[in-house]
């Protein structure tokens, strides 16, 4: 059997300015740009092996065969890579998350970033970081932001060619930390692929998109100047704007639980008392609490005193997707 295999690791990421809604759903060209940082403690390791002998693609997630929907999504993605390489071999994909799946922490960004790198190398493609980011975007939009290192901006672009992410500051530029507070372990009823399609049904989406260059500029400057207060105000506003769109879509997406709201209030109270801390939420009830390394222990303690929290995962800012032996 030929040995066309490679293993890659990629981190999850948390968006400070969110991606919600596509100009082109099939190509995952977003309506607005977004900015995130990588989460070094939450990552996916993926080994891909291509072989002439395989008669179909196989997908193992944490050692178990994946469900049919996940397999179809990966097969479709591997087709893009096979077309790029001009090769017709099937693959075995073995993916491991270091964070338990089913905890409500999204794994699609780290998974498709790790898959893009491992599969492209295994099949013999040598893609630039930009082209890897473009490729990862096809699997899950936010995955394009898990390719470059540290603080990352996704330029929305207008086409497949110009919609990609790049690093705007290295991981060690600013010592931010992210604490994912797990409120519910339930699987989302409506995932982000479906959610993006509903965004345009909210009357608030248009204004959210129109105003996005201004919000991106505030966050870019806040990162450059390491200005936590400016970052905090805009991160919460942007998350609230995305959830306002979600709540006012048809059908409505209401992800918040009572504990979600209790954490949001607590975080704002802590910030008023002088602690650099803010919240942001993705498409689910879990809350990402962002602070600096100096305050991380204190925030962790404070969070563990709140009722209804099942787990907290803490991360520093992470590096880029990379190959391992």
Q: How far apart are CA 239 and CA 151, in angstroms?
A: 18
As given in the structure block, the two tokens for residue 101 are 């799946």
Query: DSSP string of 139-182?
Result: H-GGGGGGSS-SEEEEE--SSTTT-EEEEEE-GGGS-EEEEEEE
How far, CA to CA in Å, does 122 sit from each of 52, 134, 210, 323? 13, 18, 41, 11
82 binds ligand PMV per the rule CB under 6 A = no
When asked if residue 243 is in the footprint of ligand PMV (CB under 6 A), the reply is no
**Is residue 91 a contact partner of residue 172, using CB atoms and an 8 Å limit?**
no
State the minimum distance, in angstroms, from the CB of residue 41 to ligand PMV: 17
Name the segment binding ligand PMV (CB under 6 A); options: 16-24, 180-188, 209-217, 222-230. 16-24
Q: Does 282 bind ligand PMV (CB under 6 A)?
A: yes
The verdict on 315 binding ligand PMV (CB under 6 A) reads no
Closest distance to ligand PMV from the beta carbon of 264 (Å):
16
C-beta closer to ligand PMV: residue 207 or 324: 207
280 makes contact with ligand PMV (CB under 6 A): no
Closest CA to 278 of 208, 168, 176: 176
Q: Is 138 in the site for ligand PMV (CB under 6 A)?
A: no
Out of 5, 163, 192, 212, name the contact with ligand PMV by CB under 6 A: 192
In the complex with ligand PMV, the residue whose CB is nearer, 5 or 97, is 97
Report how far residue 224's alpha carbon sits from residue 175's, in angstroms, rounded to the nearest whole number: 13
**Integer Cα distance of 109 and 106 in angstroms:** 7
Contact status: 283 vs ligand PMV (CB under 6 A): yes
33, 104, 141, 319: residue in contact with ligand PMV (rule CB under 6 A): 141
Q: Is 43 in the site for ligand PMV (CB under 6 A)?
A: no
319 near ligand PMV (CB under 6 A): no
- In the complex with ligand PMV, the residue whose CB is nearer, 140 or 249, is 140
In this structure, what DSSP letter does residue 252 have?
-
Residue with the two structure tokens 């787990």: 311
Assess 240 for contact with ligand PMV (CB under 6 A): no
Q: Could you count the other beta carbons within 10 Å of the beta carbon of residue 271?
A: 19
Cβ closest to ligand PMV, residue 50 vs residue 112: 112
Give the x/- contact pattern for ligand PMV in 95-114, rule: CB under 6 A.
-----------x-xx-----
Instruction: Examine residue 117 and tell whether it contacts ligand PMV (CB under 6 A).
Output: no
Distance of alpha carbon 249 from alpha carbon 53, whole angstroms: 47
Alpha carbon 180 to its chain's center: 13
Stretch that binds ligand PMV, among 17-25, 67-75, 167-175, 255-263 (CB under 6 A): 17-25
Pick from 5, 6, 8, 18 the residue near ligand PMV by CB under 6 A. 18
C-alpha to C-alpha distances, 240 to 20, 200, 281, nearest whole angstrom: 12, 17, 8
Total residues at the site for ligand PMV (CB under 6 A)?
15
Interface stretch with ligand PMV, choices 11-19, 39-47, 156-164, 251-259 (CB under 6 A): 11-19
Q: In whole angstroms, how close is the CB of 143 to ligand PMV at the nearest point?
A: 6
CA–CA gap between residue 35 and residue 148 (Å, rounded): 12
Tell me which residues touch ligand PMV (CB under 6 A): 15, 18-20, 34, 106, 108-109, 140-142, 192-193, 282-283
């Amino acid at each position: 059997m030929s040995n066309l295999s490679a293993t890659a690791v990629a981190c999850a990421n948390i968006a400070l300015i969110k991606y919600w809604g596509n100009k082109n759903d099939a190509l995952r060209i977003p309506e607005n740009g977004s900015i995130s940082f990588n989460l070094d403690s939450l990552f996916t390791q993926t080994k891909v092996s291509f072989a002439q002998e395989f008669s179909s693609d196989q997908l193992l997630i944490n050692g178990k065969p994946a469900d049919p929907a996940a397999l179809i999504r990966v097969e479709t993605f591997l087709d893009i890579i096979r077309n790029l390489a001009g090769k017709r071999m099937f693959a075995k994909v073995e993916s491991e998350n270091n964070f338990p799946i089913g905890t409500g922490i999204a794994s699609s960004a780290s998974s498709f970033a790790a898959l893009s790198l491992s599969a492209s190398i295994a099949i013999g493609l040598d893609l630039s970081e930009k082209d890897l980011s473009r490729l990862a975007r096809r699997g899950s939009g936010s995955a394009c932001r898990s390719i470059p290192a540290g603080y990352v901006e996704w330029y929305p672009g207008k086409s497949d060619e110009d919609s990609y992410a790049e690093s705007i500051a290295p991981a060690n530029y600013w010592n931010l930390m992210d604490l994912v507070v797990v409120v519910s372990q339930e699987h989302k009823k409506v995932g982000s692929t479906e959610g993006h399609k509903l965004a345009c049904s909210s009357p608030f989406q248009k204004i959210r998109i129109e105003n996005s260059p201004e919000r991106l500029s505030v966050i870019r400057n806040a990162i450059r100047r390491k200005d936590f207060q400016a970052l905090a105000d805009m991160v919460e506003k942007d998350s609230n704007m995305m959830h306002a769109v979600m709540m006012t879509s048809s059908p409505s997406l209401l992800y918040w639980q009572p504990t979600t709201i209790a954490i949001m209030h607590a975080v704002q109270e802590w910030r008023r008392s002088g602690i650099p801390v803010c919240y942001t939420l993705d498409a689910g009830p879990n809350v990402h609490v962002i602070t600096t390394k100096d305050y991380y222990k204190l925030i962790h303690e404070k969070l563990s005193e709140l009722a209804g929290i099942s787990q907290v995962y803490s991360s520093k800012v992470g590096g880029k997707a990379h190959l391992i032996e």
